[in-house]
Amino acid sequence: MTAIPGSQEIAAARQALIAIDPALQRAHAATPTFEWRTRVGGYEGLFRMIVEQQVSLASAAAIWKRVTEGLDHELTPERVLATDIEALRAMGLSIQKATYGHEIARAHVDGRIDFDHLEQLSDEEATARLVAIKGVGRWTAETFLMFCEGRTDVFPAGDIALQEAIRWADRAMLRPREKDAYLRSELWKPHRSVAAHLLWGWYGAVKRGEVVLEDTAEP
């Protein structure tokens, strides 16, 4: 895992972003100082992201607690592979998520990906290795690299909240498609992860009613 960016690095990146893209100024002005979103890395971190998808926060926490306790707090590829699918299902996982847990573990054990030395790969290569594993989509791979690996130039353009925040920033009528959001984010290199944090922060503040949008086109 690379070093997580500190407050000074994030602040400097925000200034660089609004200098190269004034469209981000409103998001910057409306979003207070934030810390990097961090999560446990390695196999455990990716497995947990898979477990938590498409369920509520409360349900995700409850299921993960059962999984952790069921595995005696040994969240390793070897331990998960040694636990059959039905046993994982008894811990609250769907058959699909239990299978994905095995697939990710097998990829590590087989050497298709090395969670212990993932930082040695470029962002592009790490993403490619991750999405090659059954059950790991591009959004999951990119958010894993950002939150669990501390990578600073990753942008999960398939994220609906980010697409909507880009629409607000550009005062556009329609949300950009994933491909267009990727192209839009090229301008923000090498600070795309900070741009994502900034746009998420802005989006959340608007949705909570803490910030009122002005002069934004309606879709």
With pLDDT > 70 as the criterion, what percentage of the chain qualifies?
Answer: 97
Least confident of 12-16, 206-210, 212-216: 212-216
Is 70 exceeded by the pLDDT of residue 219? no
C-alpha 7/C-alpha 117 separation (Å) is 26
pLDDT tens track for 94-103:
999 999 999 9
Q: Say if residues 179 and 127 touch (Cβ distance below 8 Å).
A: no
* CB-based contacts of 88, cutoff 8 Å, min separation 6: 67, 70, 80, 98, 101, 102
List b or e across 2-35, with b for residues whose CB sees 16 or more CB atoms inside 10 angstroms: eeebeeeebeebbeebbeebeebebbbebbeeee
Burial class (CB in 10 A: 0-12, 13-18, 19+), 174: exposed
Place of tokens 């839009």: 184
* CB-based contacts of 108, cutoff 8 Å, min separation 6: 43, 77, 114, 115
Burial class (CB in 10 A: 0-12, 13-18, 19+), 218: exposed
pLDDT tens track for 85-125:
999 999 999 999 999 999 999 999 999 999 989 999 999 99
pLDDT tens track for 128-178:
999 999 999 999 999 999 999 999 999 999 999 999 999 999 999 999 999
pLDDT attached to residue 218: 58
